[in-house]
């Protein structure tokens, strides 16, 4: 039994409309204007759509880098996403200040754990230290913002 041509076009049209709506939703998440940027599951009807999310990130200038590669100074923050399987975590790359002499650069998700800490923390490796398993984040260096280094929890 063959599918009538009209049905095939209708099915393709529905897929096209779903793809368009999915991409629009992902752009809203990435922009953070109509959807709060936090933790988002990248499944649609049980199907992993993280590849579509990654395509939309690239279109919005969120490029794959490690925390070490993100250029920001203490008092600045850079928006970024970390993809863990089928979950996308929004957060910031910034410098956390412990004392006047002790700082560390890290990615901290806006999603929090039960203690109120960043659910996902990816610290930069110290200078000169290489790791084979550096985690990739997707950062937009063009959207760097100022921040209060004394209160990074308020991100």
Hunting for tokens 């996902």 — which residue is that?
Answer: 120
Residue 150 resides in a domain: yes
In a domain, residue 4? The reply is: no
Which 3 state secondary structure label does DSSP give 134? Answer: coil
- Each residue's pLDDT tens digit, 100-122: 778 889 999 999 989 988 899 99
The answer to whether residue 110 is domain-embedded is: yes
Is residue 145 in a domain? yes
Looking at residue 37, its pLDDT comes to: 82
The answer to whether residue 104 sits within a structural domain is yes
Rg over alpha carbons for the chain, rounded to the nearest Å, is 19
| Residue 71 covered by a domain | yes
Phi first, then psi, for residue 69 (nearest 5°) are -80, -15
Q: Which residues, listed in sequence order, are joined to residue 97 by a DSSP beta bridge? A: 103
State the pLDDT at residue 111: 92
**CA-to-CA distance for 117 and 122, rounded, in angstroms?**
13
Contact (CB, 8 A) for 152 and 96: yes
pLDDT grade for 133, boundaries at 50, 70 and 90? low
Residues spanned by the domain of 62: 37-154
Handedness of CA 150, 64, 123, 154 (dihedral sign): positive
pTM of the model: 0.84
Residue 73 lies in a domain: yes
Domain annotation covers residue 20: no
Number of domains in the chain: 1
Q: What pLDDT is recorded for position 2?
A: 54
H or E stretch including 53?
Answer: helix 50-59
pLDDT digits (tens, 9 = 90+) for 18-58: 889 999 999 999 998 877 888 999 999 899 999 999 999 99
């Amino acid at each position: 039994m063959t599918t009538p041509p009209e049905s095939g076009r209708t099915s393709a049209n529905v897929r096209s409309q779903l793809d368009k709506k999915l991409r629009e939703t992902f752009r809203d998440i990435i922009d953070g204007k109509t959807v709060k940027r936090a933790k988002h599951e990248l499944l649609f009807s049980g199907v992993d759509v993280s590849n579509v999310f990654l395509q939309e990130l690239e279109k919005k200038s969120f490029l794959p880098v490690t925390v070490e590669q993100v250029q920001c100074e203490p008092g600045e923050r850079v928006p970024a996403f970390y993809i863990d399987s089928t979950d996308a975590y929004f957060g910031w790359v910034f410098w956390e200040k412990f004392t006047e002499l002790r700082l560390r650069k890290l990615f901290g998700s806006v999603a929090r754990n039960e203690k109120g800490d960043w659910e996902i923390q990816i610290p930069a490796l110290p200078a000169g230290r290489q790791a084979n398993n550096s985690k990739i984040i997707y950062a937009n260096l063009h959207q760097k913002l100022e921040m209060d280094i004394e209160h990074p929890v308020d991100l």
